[in-house]
Structure formats: structure tokens, C-alpha cells
Amino acid sequence: MSGHSQFKNIMYRKGAQDAKKARVFAKLAREITVAAKSGLPEPDKNPRLRLAIQAARAESMPKDNIERAIAKATTVAGGADFVSMRYEGFSPNKVSVIVEALTDNKNRTAGNVRTIFGKRGGQMGESGSVLFNFERIGYIQYPVSVASGDEMFEAALEAGANEVVTDDENHEIETLPDDLSAVTSALEAKYGTPSASRLDWKPMVKVDITDAETARKFLDFIDALEDDEDVQHVYHNAEIADDVMAELAGEE
């Protein structure tokens, strides 16, 4: 589960997260609308929509926002049709990067992503150029305050999870992609809404970053990708050393 340390690695960058909340909600709403359009607008009959709503709740997205996003899929005739796109490439320090987007204009999004890679010293790759470094998994996260490590381990495995790792802050649960919705629902009934529930790309091979300057450039690169309005998720296989993260955090 150490592959998910990437989320802790960028945590210090999110001091201005409140300012980005509207952008986060907009991206979540887009996923909910697309999910609702892709099947029935009822979460219990549409697994993709159910997961999108769970992700929105994990980010404390208001219920009204969620309902409006669902309604948009069924009431707005002739609205924009969004398609899923995936881009692959390398950061300036050769970290493998996967970018997932939802867009109504593929040329615009591809151009924007290519520009970010180019201007910041990265390199776009062909489809499949970095994907072999990752495996697709379901990922669920709860704060340690909801249960002991042993209790969460037993509950998650009973619900169908593959792996549970607990650290000082979180319980991190890994599932097969097809089991994510069912495991999340089972744990949600017992522990409430998780702090994260999503399909992830888990890195199988890591690239260590051991100096502050390289880490700073890398995190700025990731931030630039995440700030694009069409980009939904960015995954990578970087592992930033704890002392480097502490140094960067001290600069904030």
C-alpha cells in the first residue's frame, strides 16, 4: 500500500485547498453527470454513479450539488458530451505519470496537457508507455479514529478487500476494481462515509526523489496538471523522501 504515499507527499501543497474547493467540486460534478448519463440516474442501479457520489461525499460536497449534477444529466438536452481521455508521460525527473481527463473537446485538452509537459521539462509518451508500471485497484481510506487496526482489517477483509494497511493517520484498503463499490458500501454501513473511495492506478515500481529542488519542480509539475479544468486525476510513481518533504513543508 506504500504506493499511496504519493497523496501524503503532496499534502503540504494543499494549504490553499479551500481556494481550490470550487474547482474540486466542479470536477466531481462533471464525473457525476457523466456517470449518470452513462446509465440509469439511480446510484443503486449504476455502479459508476454510485462511486462518483461516494467520492463527492468523501470531499464533503454538498448534497444539493450532487443532486444538481445528477439532474443535469437528465434535464439538459443537447448538453456537452464528455469523453474520458488518458495521457501518459514522464515528469522532468523521469517519474511515470498518468493523467485522466473528462473533456468535451479532445483537441483542447490534449493541447493543454502537452503544453504543461513541454513547458515544465516533461515528455508526453505513447499510450501504454508508462501504464505497465501500474496496476488498477480500488482504494478506500478511513481515518484511524473510526476503528482500531485489527477491527478495520477484519471488517475490510470480510467485506471482500484484498489488503489493509494502517499507519498513524489512516486505514488504507485495497480491493479489486470490480469490488470497490461493494466493499465501500459494506464499510460505509459500519463506519460512515470514507475519506476516499476511488479507482486508482497503483505504482509497482518507484522512483525515489531525494533532494528538495527536484521535489519542488516535480510537485509544481503535478500541480499544473491538476489545475487544468479537464484533468480529473493525476497518478505517478514518485516516492519523496520524508526529510525532503519536511524541508519543503518548512518553506510554506
CATH of the domain at 220: 3.30.70.980
**Which of 10-24, 39-53, 155-169 shows the lowest mean pLDDT across its residues?**
10-24
Last residue of a domain, one of 26, 55, 75: 75
CA 166, 168, 174: angle at the middle one, nearest 5?
25
Place 252 in a pLDDT band, splitting at 50, 70 and 90.
low
Residue 128 and residue 209 in one domain: yes
Task: Please tell me which residue, 44 or 229, carries the higher pLDDT value.
Answer: 229
Last residue of a domain, one of 75, 96, 117: 75
**Chain mean pLDDT for the chain:** 87
| Residues of the domain holding 184 | 135-203
Residue 146 and residue 176 in one domain: yes
Residue 37 and residue 126 in one domain: no
Residue 31 and residue 123 in one domain: no
**Which of 9-23, 28-42, 61-75, 165-179 shows the lowest mean pLDDT across its residues?**
9-23
Residue 66 and residue 149 in one domain: no
Residue 124 and residue 220 in one domain: yes
Task: Please tell me which residue, 72 or 1, carries the higher pLDDT value.
Answer: 72
Sheet holding 83-90, edge to edge: 123-125, 83-90, 96-103, 231-236
CATH of the domain at 57: 1.10.10.200
Distance CA 246, CA 221 (A): 19
Q: Please tell me the predicted confidence (pLDDT) of residue 75.
A: 65
pLDDT digits (tens, 9 = 90+) for 151-188: 999 999 999 999 999 999 999 999 999 999 899 989 99
Tally of CB atoms within 10 A around 184: 27
**Total tally of structural domains belonging to the chain:** 3
Last residue of a domain, one of 75, 93, 115: 75
Residue 123 and residue 214 in one domain: yes
Task: Please tell me which residue, 89 or 74, carries the higher pLDDT value.
Answer: 89
Q: Please tell me the predicted confidence (pLDDT) of residue 51.
A: 83
Residue 113 and residue 219 in one domain: yes
End-to-end, the C-alpha distance of the chain in Å comes to 28
pLDDT digits (tens, 9 = 90+) for 81-126: 788 899 999 998 899 999 999 998 999 999 999 999 999 999 999 9
What share of the chain has pLDDT > 70, as a percent? Answer: 90
Residue 11 and residue 52 in one domain: yes
Q: Please tell me the predicted confidence (pLDDT) of residue 212.
A: 92
Q: Please tell me the predicted confidence (pLDDT) of residue 146.
A: 96
**Which of 45-59, 95-109, 169-183, 222-236 shows the lowest mean pLDDT across its residues?**
45-59
Write the CA distances from 151 to 86, 140, 194, integer angstroms.
Answer: 37, 15, 15
